[in-house]
A and B are shown apart, each in its own frame.
Chain A
Amino acid sequence: MPPSPNPLKLEECFIKLHDLFVMSNRILFFLRLLVLIQFLGYAAKLDGPSALNSFLLVSMGDPFVSIFDRAVQVFIWFACTALLIFGIVNPSVHSMARRIDFSILGLFTLWSFSVAILSWIINPGNPFHATDPAGHAVRFAAPLALLLLTAFPEKGNIRRVEWLLRWGVAGTFVGHGLCALWLKPSFVDLIIGTMNLFLGDPVFTAVSFQDLEEALTIAASRQAFAESALPIIAIQDFILVALLLLPGKRIKTIALWMAVWGFVTATSRMTAYGWDHWHDLALRICNGGVPLFLWAHWNSLESKKISS
């Protein structure tokens, strides 16, 4: 008669298996921080009219649309504070606090998704805005992922959420890649503005006609550089997306590179236009943050596999 297994050892084994698939709270908290920062960016952006405001202006008129925007802005401030508190306190899934947490994340998802779609709708015929539903994908994928991971932390769900995030990152990189390929003027300005920051702006420093002639040459060369770099950036974006979406593969280097690139491009809003554009970086924090989240998650999976 074979010996019966030790119930204590079996339990340890189950715990290890569970740990392998359940995402650590630290990684989840990181995702929460990303969502929070992103929505602080949304709140700051509401100093100007939102896409929903512009969409409703004709039918509802002002002041309704302005009041609506203001209400959303105030809601986001409070909601971000609540998200932070819930992240620290970590209430149980069935508690009222957690239900509020879920509601906030649901509304955040809805808001970022609506903005992406309406930004396209209110700018008919504009090819750059037509990419917004894809380009903003990571912005609505992140709060949705956080909601799903917190509400349903089971093994199968984590895998599905991981793919949701992969597709979100892919959408964002495809959207930005298309804009880069079509030489979106604001992207050209991001490169020129950043070059001007580090290399100096010859136009502003020119004092004579001769200086201006030279400045014209330098400005033209910077514009030419930006316009030739953008299609290469676009190709890089598309290749990264293809590698990120390879089925059955988790290429950590790709996720890490996407994270670095996402942060660099998001930060270029500040390097090109100044510190007062912090909200442009905050709004795009998930462009680099979510690939970094994926990298961290894959890393933890790997280390857990090794230890188990």
Chain B
Amino acid sequence: MKIKILAQFLLILTPLVSVKAFSETPWLDQKYVEKRMKSLAPVKGGGPSQWRVIWTKEPSTNATISWTTAKKGSEHKVRYGIRSEGKYTGGGMILEAQRSGAYSGAKGEYYHHARISGLKPSTTYHFEVESDGKKSPVMHFRTAPSDDREFRLLFGGDSRTGIEARAQVNLLMADLSANDDQLIAFAHGGDYIVSGRSWSQWSTWLSQHELTVTNSGKVLPIIPTRGNHDGGPLYDEIFDTPGGSGKNYFHTMISPKVALITLNSEISAGGDQQAWLAKTLFDLRPKVRWLLAEYHRPVWPAVKTPGKAKKFWVPLFEKFNLDLAIESDGHVIKRTVPIRNEKKDPTGIVYVGEGGLGVPQRIPKSDRWYLQSPGMTGSDHHVMRVVFGKEKMDYEVILLDGKQADHYEFFPR
């Protein structure tokens, strides 16, 4: 009798516990994820879909708004401006897409890029994209600051292969973004999909990117990095050739005191790119408080062997005292000890990341000397959040359930 009562009690309690748990992290519920994926804007007809905001060099005044249509269409434009009480103050601006074209290997889908300039720093801009009279919902993003205020960025890499896990991480990012006005952008470390030449895979990724948009319409601008699975022309067609054709390396002045250097580990690391890196570091280091670099293949890997860029880039990172290097590709969580001259050194460079935006996770080789405590390793889908303050830079790794897997504080050099 007692067992029967206990069983009934458990039967009632289990869904209640689940509802409570999933109410805070609904993306852990498979049905919720499936439902959200079904509600994504379809790529059909002449209407806009797969919208995204791209940041490259000067995000306090510039942004590229991009989208997809299933037909070539004739008129593609963005209406944007500062809104107050549901209306654009000053009437709003209208900008025609400067670059449109057919996605390589697609079945009639087209990309459109509207490069907006002259924006005000630290300002929320609302926008809607319109193709042949069909409009997207009104969304908004915040420009980067031109002063030394505190803000946050998300980092992560390797969203390939695990499509459902990728959707979950995207929903986590939307949740983090919704609750945080200071969170202004997301830097992707590369390997978006398995085959960079497959339009169908990119199309799925692009549609799922909509899951990072919050319920209020807040879009996290993306700072793209090319990964080893992102070969081919589609990357440039999707992200409007960030950093220039054949290069895809650039630096982003996110604020006057924070710079992110995006490198391309899929082209020659020496030669032009190395010299550009040296000049950029030389130029930026005296100006900024926080100097970061992001690239795909790790030079201090937690799973694989070091990338070839190690020889060309690491001496420069050390010479110019980079504050943080963000890597992907290994499919784990890692944070190295500070490294200088191939040794643990408190003045050295810390390397974090390795990619967990959906890709199946590996087990890190935590016996490597540079991953020993106070370094860390782990294995789970995750996103990294960095808070750029005046006194310190806070780095944390957030897992799908919202728990913190790692935390580290950096102080100005």
Which residues of A pack against B, CB within 8 Å? Answer: 45, 47-49, 57-58, 61-63, 65-66, 123-127, 185-186, 188-189, 192-193, 196, 203-204, 206, 209, 212-213, 215-216, 219-220, 222-223, 226, 272-274
Flag whether B274 is at the interface (Cβ < 8 A).
yes
For the complex, what is the distance from the CA of A226 to the CA of B267, rounded to whole Å? 13
Interface size on B, residues (CB 8 A): 41
B271–A49 touching, CB < 8 Å:
no
Contact of A219 among B271, B319, B379 (CB under 8 A): B271
**A209 to chain B: which residues have CB within 8 Å?**
282
Q: Given known contacts A193-B270, A220-B271, A273-B311, what 20 new A-B pairs fall within 8 Å (CB)? A: A47-B305, A57-B362, A65-B362, A123-B228, A124-B195, A125-B231, A126-B196, A185-B267, A188-B268, A188-B271, A189-B308, A189-B312, A192-B268, A204-B316, A204-B319, A212-B282, A220-B275, A222-B271, A272-B311, A273-B308
Counting chain A CB atoms within 10 Å of each CB, the highest count among B197, B266, B301, B362 belongs to B362
**B231 to chain A: which residues have CB within 8 Å?**
125-127
For the complex, what is the distance from the CA of A104 to the CA of B11, rounded to whole Å? 58
**A126 to chain B: which residues have CB within 8 Å?**
196, 228-229, 231
User: Can you identify 18 A-B contacts, CB atoms within 8 angstroms?
Assistant: A47-B365, A48-B301, A61-B360, A62-B360, A63-B363, A124-B198, A125-B195, A185-B266, A188-B268, A188-B270, A189-B271, A193-B312, A204-B315, A204-B319, A206-B278, A215-B278, A226-B268, A273-B310
For the complex, what is the distance from the CA of A216 to the CA of B282, rounded to whole Å? 13
| Shortest beta-carbon contacts, A-B, top 3 | A223-B271, A125-B197, A219-B275
CB neighbors of A among B329-379 (8 A) = 331, 360-363, 365, 379
Flag whether B391 is at the interface (Cβ < 8 A).
no
Tell me the minimal C-beta distance from B197 to chain A in angstroms: 4
B272–A223 touching, CB < 8 Å:
yes
Chain B residue with the shortest CB-CB distance to A274: B311
For the complex, what is the distance from the CA of A222 to the CA of B269, rounded to whole Å? 13
CB neighbors of A among B261-316 (8 A) = 266-272, 274-276, 278-279, 282, 301, 303-305, 308, 310-312, 315-316
Flag whether B405 is at the interface (Cβ < 8 A).
no
For the complex, what is the distance from the CA of A125 to the CA of B195, rounded to whole Å? 6
A-B pairs with CB below 8 Å: how many? 105
Contact of A203 among B275, B361, B363, B365 (CB under 8 A): B275
B271–A192 touching, CB < 8 Å:
yes
Contact of A48 among B196, B274, B304, B363 (CB under 8 A): B304
For the complex, what is the distance from the CA of A256 to the CA of B100, rounded to whole Å? 54
B229–A123 touching, CB < 8 Å:
yes
For the complex, what is the distance from the CA of A220 to the CA of B331, rounded to whole Å? 34
Chain B residue with the shortest CB-CB distance to A273: B311
**B365 to chain A: which residues have CB within 8 Å?**
47
Flag whether B124 is at the interface (Cβ < 8 A).
no
For the complex, what is the distance from the CA of A133 to the CA of B190, rounded to whole Å? 26
B275–A216 touching, CB < 8 Å:
yes
**A188 to chain B: which residues have CB within 8 Å?**
268, 270-271
Flag whether B194 is at the interface (Cβ < 8 A).
yes
**B137 to chain A: which residues have CB within 8 Å?**
none
For the complex, what is the distance from the CA of A273 to the CA of B312, rounded to whole Å? 9
